[in-house]
Amino acid sequence: MRIVVTGATGNVGTALLRRLAEEPDTTVHGVSRRPPDPEPPYDIDWTPVDLSKPGAEEPMAEVLRGADAVVHLAWKIQPSHDEPEMFRTNVAGSDRVFRAAVKAGVPHLVHMSSVGAYSPAVKDGLKDESWPTDGVSSSYYSRHKAAVEHQLDRIEREHPTLTVTRVRPALILQPDAATEIKRYFLGPFVPRVLFRAGVPVLPLPRNFVLQFVHSDDVADALALVLRKKLPGAVNLASEPVVTPQVLAEVMKAKHVPIPPVVLRTAARVSWLARLQPTSHGWVDLALTAPLLDVSRARDELGWTPRHNARTVLAELFGGLGRGEGVPASPPLKP
């Protein structure tokens, strides 16, 4: 198989390159705005393409000719104060990749969607892939993910012979992405020593309930999707569901319940003051995104995550304390 991967230097892309290197009959072509240093797992053929630029579909189509599948991972989370810039990559750029895939005759399109594409839900049960994908209106990330889901609806209607897979994971973590995650979500004013020494209290709303999954487990699922050409959507998450109490235990802190409006206001004020990069929309998303039912991944893909969610979090916090990253990758560079 010949697989083209966009955003191949990022968190999931790096894990996927590691995983596909284990497949003896698979060759990978990487696409990224900034090519990495040529060392494992990046010692593959690369084409630099900035998907935010008009006309990017033309070089993409050239790269995609003869490919058995394209895995679209490219996505921007920052700069959070410039939504038009992110839209140009996330939504317009995704459309360019999809049109290029159609033009090149690629038979299988795999898009990395997210739990963030789903409409709000009460966290009193698990939701499968049939839950609506209209997003959370106050979150730019969610709006963009939902918009791309609707693009895929159109692609499927117009090109019924194209196999389209939408992978919808929970929050994806690995120690190698620790520096990137800190830069994107915490900013420069949160010291690394905080993750080594711990915090005495963790003030969070009771309904701040999340799911996580390791990047390598997502890569395993993507490899299975490519082998089986699974159509439709598939959720990915690891056990257990992480409540504020579980998060506090992992951080060796005491959970102090606070009203959601307090956390949302604190995030909004500090984001507007540019003290940290996480907007209040991320708080809304965390409070209202559904909990994922992963039965389809288990039953139809045979996917079982190797990493427990508590372990994933503990490894990430260790990576944050040590400032871990991947020197060869521009986005993951420590």
Is 142:193 a contact under the CB 8 Å cutoff? no
Query: pTM of the full predicted structure?
Result: 0.96
Q: What is the phi/psi pair of residue 146, to 5°?
A: -65, -40
Cα 60 to Cα 50: distance, rounded to the nearest angstrom: 10
What are residue 63's DSSP bridge partners? none
Beta bridge pairs of residue 47: 31
Q: Which two tokens stand for residue 93?
A: 């750029």
Residues 312 and 170: beta-carbon distance below 8 Å:
no
User: 129 CB contacts (<8 Å, ≥6 apart)?
Assistant: 168, 232, 233, 234, 235, 296
Q: What is the 3-state secondary structure (H, E, C) of 266-288?
A: HHHHHHHCCCCCCCHHHHHHHHH
Q: Give every residue of the chain whose pLDDT is below 70, as ranges.
A: none
Q: Rounded to an integer, what distance in angstroms lies between the CA atom of residue 199 and that of residue 75?
A: 32
In Å, how far are 105, 129, 208, 210, 302 from 293, measured between CA atoms?
Answer: 33, 8, 18, 13, 15
Q: What is the pLDDT of residue 196?
A: 86
| Distance of alpha carbon 171 from alpha carbon 296, whole angstroms | 18
Cβ partners under 8 Å of residue 8, min gap 6: 14, 16, 17, 28, 30, 31, 32, 42, 46, 73
In degrees rounded to 5, what are phi and psi of residue 189?
Answer: -90, 0
For position 258, what pLDDT does the model report? 98
Cβ contact 301:234 at 8 Å: yes
Strands (E), the chain: 2-6, 27-32, 45-48, 69-72, 108-112, 126-127, 163-169, 171-173, 201-204, 212-214, 232-236, 254-257, 291-292
Contact yes or no for 163/107 (Cβ under 8 A):
yes
CATH for 2-173+211-240+290-305 (3.40.50.150, 3.30.450.30, 3.40.1120.10, 3.40.50.720): 3.40.50.720
* Domains in the chain: boundaries: 2-173+211-240+290-305
From residue 312, alpha-carbon distances to 24, 238, 242 in Å are 28, 9, 11
Q: What pLDDT was estimated at residue 37?
A: 96
Other residues' Cβ atoms within 10 Å of the Cβ of residue 65? 13
